[in-house]
Structure 1
C-alpha cells in the first residue's frame, strides 16, 4: 500500500454556506459511556481501528530513511519514507517475538532492525536479514515474515494512518471540510509547540468541550474581549461524515460585553502593531471597529508582510474557524496558525486519556521569528518544538487550553455521582449531540 500524497492542493476560497440542520435523535448521553470498560472495548473495535488518525508531520519524513513512531491505545504505529520516496505505515512490532521494533519517536535509518535479535527489515517492511538464517527448520523467514502494512496517506502537512484495510480514502472520510481546510496553507505551518498530557478523564470529554462554545464566557473569561462566543452571532455546521465546524468572529469584544476597552486593546496590541494600526484610534467605544479595519489592513499589507491571503475570505483574516473531525481531532484555525488538539484513548483505563496540543505557526515569508499571540510568546522558525510531556497541572498547553484542562478531571468525577443521570443539552450544543450520535452510528455499524 503506497502513500497517497494529497498535500498538493489547489487552494481556493472555502465554501461558507450554512449547512442544513441534521435530524437529531436526542438519545440520552448517559454517564456510563465515559467510564465503562465494556464501552471502551467496543470503541476500540468499532472506532479506533477503523478511523483515520494522524501519525505526525509530513516534514518529519522529508528524506529517504526517515521514520516516526506514534501510539494509539494499545497499538504502536511506525511510518517510514522508503527508498522509492513513498510513505508507508506499519504496526510497530517485530514478527519474530513481538518486541516493539523502533523505540525512538523519530530518526533516520537504512534498515529497521529489531534490538532484541537483530531481525532487519527494509523501509518497505520486507524482512531482509536474520542472524543464523539457516537455523530455522521451517525455512528462512526472510521475505515471508514481513511487517504488517496499513493504509497511509498524506494531507495538509500531516501523515495519516488507518488500521482498517477496507477503509474509505482519507478525502472521502473528510468530505467537504477537506477543501475548506485546504484554503489555509497548512503544509507551510511549523509546529512550534508540542505538549502531551496524561489526564484523568475520558477522551470524549475533550471532544465534547471543543464541540460547543457555551462554556467560553465561564471557562475562558478573558476571551470575551477578543472573540464572539454567542450562538446568535456564530455559525455552526454539521456534515454527513460526522464532522462539524464553527465560525467565531474575532479581533473584537463579544456583543454581550459592555466596556472592556482596556482589556481588548491590551490583548490586541501586538496584532495592531504588526498591521500598523494605532490602538488610540479605538478608544471611546470604538473597539468593535477593529475587526473590519484589521481585515482591510491585512488585505492591503498582506503580501508586503510575507503572507498570501488570496484564498482567505475577509472573515478568515480575523476570525476563528474551528473544525471537529470525528472522532478525536480539532483544528482551531487562525489567520496565522492552527491550534491542533487531539485526545487519544488510554491503553486500558477508560477514565484516562492522552491529550495532545500542537500549535502550528504560519511564519511570514522570510521571517525567522514571530510573536504568537495565541501562545503569547515569540517563536523561532529554526527551533523544532520540544515535546513536553507530563500530567495535567504539571505542564502547560497554553493559557486558554489550560483553562479547559482544569474542568475535565472534575467533570470525570462528577459523572460518577448518583445525582447525575443524563445530559440536558441546549440547542447550541447540537454539535456535541451530533458527535455522540455519530459515535453510536459507528458502534452499531451504521457508518
Structure 2
C-alpha cells in the first residue's frame, strides 16, 4: 500500500475516531478520514497544533490538506523520556492538546498524537487504592447516580451560551473564546490578501446570538493567497502604473532601454507576470526609450524654479515638457515636482512632467476613457490532470479577478458561461493552487 504515492505502508498501528496511524518507511503518518464537518474541524485543530510546534522550532512534519489526502507525516526519531518543554504545552493548551499527546526526542518533539499516549505510571493514595479494591461497586453506583442526575438536569435545563465576536481574531484567540462554551466549531477557508493569515473573516451566527450547548459556530479563516502580477508588457507607462495601483502594488523602480517600441512602453517587469505578490509589493518596470535616439543628456534639477526657467532649461536640452497645474500654497508658477528625477539620462526629445503651483482655476489632464465592455463565451472541459485535485478557474480583466469555478476536479467536467469583461482579458486555470494553463480569449 502506498499513501499519496509517496509513503510505502509497513504496518497499520491504530485506528480510532476516523484517524489511522500508519508506520511507513522513514516515519509515521496520521491519516484523517474527512467526511463530515466534525471530521474537518478535528483535522484543522490538529493541523493548527502541529503548526504551533513548527513555529517554535520544536517539530519537523509534512502536512497535506488536499481533498481526500488529509494527513501529517513525522520523520522517525529515537524517543527519550525527557519532559515536554513549557512553551510547547502553553501553545497546545488552547487547542485541546497536552503533554500526554507528545512523544519527545532528544532534540525536540518526535511527533504529536491526536489521541492521548499511554500514560505514565503514577503513585496513588493508599486509601483510594483500598477503596477501589474493596468497594468498586459503590464507586460505580455513586458515579452513575451523579451522571444520571446531571443528565436529567441538562435535559430539562439545557445551558445557553452567547456567541462572542470572533471576526478579526486569530485562530488561537477564537479557539480560546469558544473552548469552555460547550459550542462546536466548524472551520472553512477564505481568501483576503489584505488581511493577515489565519484571521477570522466571517462567522455564523452573528455575535450575541445565544446557542444551546452542542450547537455549531462556523468560522471562515483567512488563507491570504497572494495575487499574481498581471502582464503589463505593451502598456504605456501611465496605464501600467494605474493597473498596479488598482491591484495594491507599487512601482519600485524604472529603467529605460533602447527598443523599437514607442517611448514609455513597458517592455518587461521584475518579477515576471504571474508571480504571486502580497499587497504593497514593489514592481520594477523596464520601459522603452525609443530607437536611434543617440546620446542621452542628464535631466537637470527643476524643482523650485519658475515655470519659465524650467521650460527654458528643457528647451535648451532638447526635451519636451508636459505641465500639470495644481493648487498649492507655494508662489504661483513654482515647479513643485518633476518626473523623471534629476540626473536621469534622457534621450533627445524625451518627455518630462512638471507639476506647477497655481491659484484659482486648476487645469487637470483629461480622464482616460473607460475600457469598452464586451461579452465572452467560455466552453471548457477539464483535462485528465484535474481528476482528484482542487480546481480554480478565474477570469482577469481591467476590473481585476473574477472566480468562475472553485471546487473538486474531474476529467471531462464541463464549464461554460457568458461573461462581461472590460479591456484585455485572460483565463487562468489552477490545479491545487498552481497555475496549470493561461490563455487569452
Fold shared by both chains (TM-score > 0.5): no
Q: Which one scores higher on RCO, CA 8 angstroms, separation ≥ 6?
A: 1
TM-score by length of 2: 0.21
Structure (1/2) with the larger helix percentage: 1
TM-score by length of 1: 0.21
The answer to which structure has the higher strand fraction is 2
